[in-house]
Structure 1
Amino acid sequence: MSKLDDVLTKCKDQMTKQGIEIDETLLTNVAKALGPSIYNADALVVATGDEGEMQTVKNWVTKKLGVEAGAEMDACLARCTEKIGKSNTKKLRPVFYYLITKDLGKESVFA
């Protein structure tokens, strides 16, 4: 099994536990877009309570999805944090970014 497959398996497990519908193609494409950082244990997890980390997420959303920072993005990030579980301290980056992509209706970016 490849490293990517290992990460995707972890992501699918988390999504199943949280009751998140899985579009495997979208999940795979989002994970690939994140590059090799997802193979680093620390970078694989999103710390939504960390201001610097959330700025990294916002930068990605702006660069990759074309959504400018502001109220729409903040509301999206809040919804996605809630959906993946506020108390969940191991929010996997591909899952979090997948949720953001779906929430903003930007799936076509990864088609």
Structure 2
Amino acid sequence: MAEDWAVDVKKYVPNADDKAIAGIVRYCGIALQKRDSALVSFSDPEEVARVRENFLRKKLGLTAPDAELDQAVRAVGDKLKADRSKNRVTVYYLLAEHFGKLSAFAA
């Protein structure tokens, strides 16, 4: 699945950091090769929990309560509501930006 992830991210953040986008693509790795795993389903509670635990807690090191993290995930979902497909890279970029953690990927 060859896709220009930066184009999708820049629909929401026109001056997005290309290095951070590349870092998120590297982090996602093999998950981006299949359409299903390259997308985030905000209507699936297990998927929201996976984003919270694996990305926000493990990768970004956040320690906020579940409710606060889930609220941030929902806010990103609302921002992407007009898009049928919610690309994982875009979701992760918006979350990292929200929490001021883009530097974790810009190396």
Using the size of structure 2 for normalisation, the TM-score is 0.83
Q: RMSD across aligned C-alpha pairs, in angstroms?
A: 1.8
1:104 counterpart letter in structure 2? F
List aligned pairs for 1:80-91, cutoff 5 A: 80-83=76-79, 85-91=80-86
Shift of 1:19: 3.5
2:13 counterpart letter in structure 1? I
Query: For residues 97 and 19 of structure 1, what CA distance do their matches in structure 2 show?
Result: 12
Aligned partner of 2:66 among 64, 70, 75: 70
Q: Does 1:106 align with 2:96?
A: no
Query: For residues 7 and 20 of structure 2, what CA distance do their matches in structure 1 show?
Result: 16
Which sections of structure 1, spanning at least 5 residues, go unmatched? none
Specify the SS of the correspondent of 1:34.
helix
Which sections of structure 2, spanning at least 5 residues, go unmatched? none
Query: For residues 40 and 12 of structure 2, what CA distance do their matches in structure 1 show?
Result: 19
For this pair of structures, how many residues does the alignment match? 103
Query: For residues 57 and 84 of structure 2, what CA distance do their matches in structure 1 show?
Result: 24
**What are the superposed Cα offsets for residues 25-51 of structure 1, whole Å, 9 maximum, x if unpaired?**
101101101121111111001101111
Q: Give 1:33's aligned residue.
A: 27
Shift of 1:94: 0.7
Query: For residues 36 and 84 of structure 2, what CA distance do their matches in structure 1 show?
Result: 12
> What percentage of residue pairs aligned between the two structures are identical?
25
Moved >4 Å (runs of 4+): none
Judged with a 3 Å threshold, the aligned counterparts in structure 2 of structure 1 residues 74 and 13 are, in CA distance, closer, same or farther, namely same
Q: Give 1:56's aligned residue.
A: 50
